[in-house]
A and B are shown apart, each in its own frame.
Chain A
Amino acid sequence: MADPLHQFQVTPYEWLDFGEVTLPVVGTVHLAFTNSHLAMTIAFVVVVGFLTLVTSGAKVVPGRLQAVGETLFGMIDGMTSSIIGHDGKKYFPFVFTIFLFILGMNLLGMFLSFTATSQLAVTATFGLITFGLVVIIGIVKNGAGFLKLFWPTGAPLVMRPVVGLIEFFSFLLRPITLTLRLFGNMMGGHIALKVFAGFVATAVVGAAGWFGLLIFPLAMGMTIGLTALEFLVAFLQAFVFAVLTCIYLNDVVNLDHAH
């Protein structure tokens, strides 16, 4: 049986492998077009192509395709304005972009042989972009008042430094949990799928003998069920990432009048 972790290997395509290249600032790097790169490019093309297709023949009364695009747009639009409030419209493009890109990569992972979001480097980039944006917006909008985020006015005065310290560390943990949630969910789901598919293969080639007759229907049913679950998880994780981005942005945007 093939190793279930084999699917996460990043391999460069030979005809696009440029070998060791010396870049001006970064230094010497191994430059190559990999399968991870290809998966992200396909996701990008699919997302841009889909939205172009949806909006090209826009009508007042939407057709089927336009309704799909409008539902996605309306869902994120409603979320930003309900969580961030009045200023939500300003941050909608960022949240919508990150939501659609992660959703595209998650869903394409179910159709292609490679899931870009099951790479720690990819999800860590998303986590750091979101965290960096929250910190920058917090400092630009509030200046030194940004530190009020770690000064819980609801707690008794004696407890405030302690609670503030805990708040500070939980703030620093945000990019890590954002990163690992997406990474762990996608990797875990795909490993489970491969393991159960491996059981089916074991039963079919007869490696388990007559016992295979019992294993096959169980493992096959489990694989089908897990595939359905993975589609749900693919959507849910993109949605959760978008919701958490909104919540973190709301923390710093509405710092003065917390609600």
Chain B
Amino acid sequence: MDPQAAKLIGAGIAMCGMIGAGIGVGNIFGQFLAGALRNPSAAGSQIGNLFVGAALAEALGILAFVMGILIWIS
């Protein structure tokens, strides 16, 4: 296979890591919404935790993204 093509395909495959981040972030916001509808009075105080959790889940997807970019431009 042409090395350039293999590199681009590899960069594309590396982006599969974003799937996990998508599931994780969706799960966090979905669970937050479910919890917030059950007890709306407690929801406001948990916004900070919500975004920290989303950021932590997202960071792993970002690792995959950075890896993809590195493969792409290298």
Q: Which of B51, B59, B69, B73 contacts A243 (CB 8 A)?
A: B51
Chief secondary structure at chain B's binding surface: helix
For B55, B58, B65, the residue with the greatest tally of chain A CB atoms inside 10 Å of its CB is B55
B48 within 8 A of A: yes
Which residues of B lie under 8 Å from residue A181 when comparing CB positions?
55, 58-59, 62
Cβ–Cβ contact A236 & B59, under 8 A: no
Q: Which of B48, B55, B66 contacts A183 (CB 8 A)?
A: B66
A147 to B52, CA, bound (A): 25
B71 within 8 A of A: no
Cβ–Cβ contact A247 & B52, under 8 A: yes
Q: How large is the interface on B (under 10, 10 to 19, 20 to 34, 35 or more residues)?
A: 10 to 19
| Distance to closest chain A CB from B25 (angstroms) | 12
A79 to B48, CA, bound (A): 9
A5 to B72, CA, bound (A): 11
**Minimum CB distance partner of A247 in chain B:** B52
**Given A5-B73, A187-B69: A180 in contact with B62 (beta carbons within 8 A):** yes
B8 within 8 A of A: no
Q: Which of A184, A239, A244 contacts B62 (CB 8 A)?
A: A184
**Minimum CB distance partner of A241 in chain B:** B55
**Minimum CB distance partner of B72 in chain A:** A5
A185 within 8 A of B: yes
Which residues of A lie under 8 Å from residue B58 when comparing CB positions?
181, 185
Cβ–Cβ contact A240 & B62, under 8 A: no
> For chain A residues 146-190, which have a beta carbon within 8 Å of chain B?
177, 180-181, 183-185, 187-188
What 0/1 pattern do residues 17 to 55 of B give for CB contact below 8 A with A?
Answer: 000000000000000000000000000000010011001
**Given A5-B73, A181-B59: A239 in contact with B51 (beta carbons within 8 A):** yes
B63 within 8 A of A: yes
**Minimum CB distance partner of A182 in chain B:** B62
Cβ–Cβ contact A188 & B55, under 8 A: no
**Given A5-B73, A244-B55: A184 in contact with B48 (beta carbons within 8 A):** no
Interface residues of A (CB under 8 A from B): 5, 79, 177, 180-181, 183-185, 187-188, 236-237, 239-240, 243-244, 247
Pairs of residues from A and B, 7 with the lowest C-beta to C-beta distance, nearest first: A184-B62, A240-B55, A181-B59, A177-B59, A184-B66, A243-B52, A184-B65
